[in-house]
Structure 1
Amino acid sequence: MSNHVSCTISEGIAHVRLNRPDKLNALTLDILEDLVSTARELLRDKTLRAVVVSGEGDAFCAGLDFASVMRDPAGVAKAFIPRPLRGTNTFQEAPWAFRRIPVPVIAAVHGHCLGGGLQIALAADFRIATPDSRWSVLEGKWGLIPDMSGIQALKELVGIDRAKLLTMTA
């Protein structure tokens, strides 16, 4: 695991922290892989009672760090390849793996919760946010499809009709 994702367990409560505060916890390919492996480790822990996902510093997660990710075109291409067991790619599996954990997963959101960060928060069972948190998915403005499983989670959380309404209003 990189030093940009930490996981500590105390009294059955796992604390998963994005730890890249200088970049508002923006996601890199390594962080996405670390989130997948962390969720898989937690899935195997039978003593676990809950998981809290949070971000260090001023933000929960500012989304994908495009500058960092685009420096590795081969890594991006590999990250889009579906994994054989689940059929999800790395971008999708990073949030979706937390949905498979059989205990409550809580996203503790503060500051920016953007793009991929929002999709990670949507994968949690509960989202607790500070009043000053800022949530947004900007992919639609750029002609991109937000495909990290957040749209599927949003549809399940609020229903397809409300999800479409929410994605169409600015």
Structure 2
Amino acid sequence: MISLEIVNNIAYVTLNRPEKQNALSVEMFVQLDKHIKAIKKQRDVRAVIIQAEGEHFCSGLDVKSVMAKPLNILKLLFKWLPGNANLVQRVVLGWQSIPVPVIALLKGNCFGGGFHIALGADIRIADSQSQIAIMESRWGLCPDMGSAPLLMGLTNYDNALLLSSLGNPISAQQAKEMGLLTEISQNPEQRSQNIIEQLAIRSPDAISAIKRVNQASFQYNRRSLLAKETWSQIKLLINKNTRIAMYNATKEDAKPYKPRKKW
């Protein structure tokens, strides 16, 4: 469902489940994690392209397939220590650990987990018809894929809060104005190739050093944020209001929410 191909020292990671708008299954999370680890070992790789087959980049989590087996949730969220990254967080933050530029090419729907993965890239190029959304709030959940520390370096607090709380799609132009997209292009593939051609004439060590220095300029307590993300999600998964939110997301006779718990 997710392929890795290295051509002319460029690693192409392709989401290939177009019949489901590339919705993320547990298997796809596992494959992404493996591909990230494989790319890190290839010192001749000069850049990474994350792309997708079909009309859409990714519609988010394939909720039906993930919820079919209760152990899937454990597989996605398990971690040995609170500050460690679990599987869903590794497929976002893992791109940051690769010491070469990572470019995400966005089109169509880029929702939920798909957008979190794109946030892990260093550069996001979208076509003008793209839509993005952070959608966990629709299911009574909070974003938990490690993108919170990345949003801090891209957009204002109020933008991040509204985008995560409302769960509504926004246009590529709105996302660009918020700082969530690097560029909007009528031909993202060609634009990415232009960037790669320019990178190719620079020292690979200089490019890696520049990425690391720029990352250091956006320091944050990542372990604390990852722990808070996961702990908050666990509390929500056993929360009565979460079950109500999931019911309301699929039914017309919306139920009222209970008073919130202490946070």
- 1:28-107 alignment runs, 5 A limit: 28-82=25-79, 87-107=84-104
Quick check: 1:15–1:53 contact (8 Å CA) kept in 2?
yes
Taking the aligned partners of 2:23 and 2:105, their CA distance within structure 1 comes to 16
Taking the aligned partners of 1:64 and 1:96, their CA distance within structure 2 comes to 17
| Counterpart selection for 1:5 from 2, 27, 31 | 2
Give percent identity, aligned residues only.
Answer: 39
Structure 1 residue aligned with 2:147? 150
Structure 2 residue aligned with 1:135? 132
Quick check: 2:134–2:163 contact (8 Å CA) kept in 1?
no
Amino acid at match of 2:60: G
Cα separation, partners in 2 of 1:87 and 1:168, compared to 1, 3 Å: closer
Alpha-carbon distance, 1:165 to partner: 5.1
Structure with greater strand share of residues: 1
Instruction: Tell which structure's C-alpha radius of gyration is larger.
Output: 2
TM value normalised by structure 2: 0.60
Higher relative contact order (CA 8 A, sep 6+): 1
Coordinate RMSD, CA, aligned: 1.7
Structure 1 stretches of 4+ moved >6 Å? none
- How many residues are treated as equivalent by the alignment? 166
Amino acid at match of 2:18: P
Quick check: 1:79–1:91 contact (8 Å CA) kept in 2?
yes
List per-residue Cα deviations over 1:51-86 (Å, max 9, x = no partner).
0001100111110000010112112212211156x8
Q: List alignment gaps of at least 5 residues for structure 2.
A: 169-263
Quick check: 1:118–1:150 contact (8 Å CA) kept in 2?
no
Q: List alignment gaps of at least 5 residues for structure 1.
A: none
Cα separation, partners in 2 of 1:63 and 1:168, compared to 1, 3 Å: closer
Structure with greater helix share of residues: 2
SS at match of 1:7: strand
Amino acid at match of 1:139: E
TM value normalised by structure 1: 0.90
SS at match of 1:157: coil
Cα separation, partners in 2 of 1:115 and 1:102, compared to 1, 3 Å: same
Cα separation, partners in 2 of 1:20 and 1:145, compared to 1, 3 Å: same
Alpha-carbon distance, 1:151 to partner: 2.1
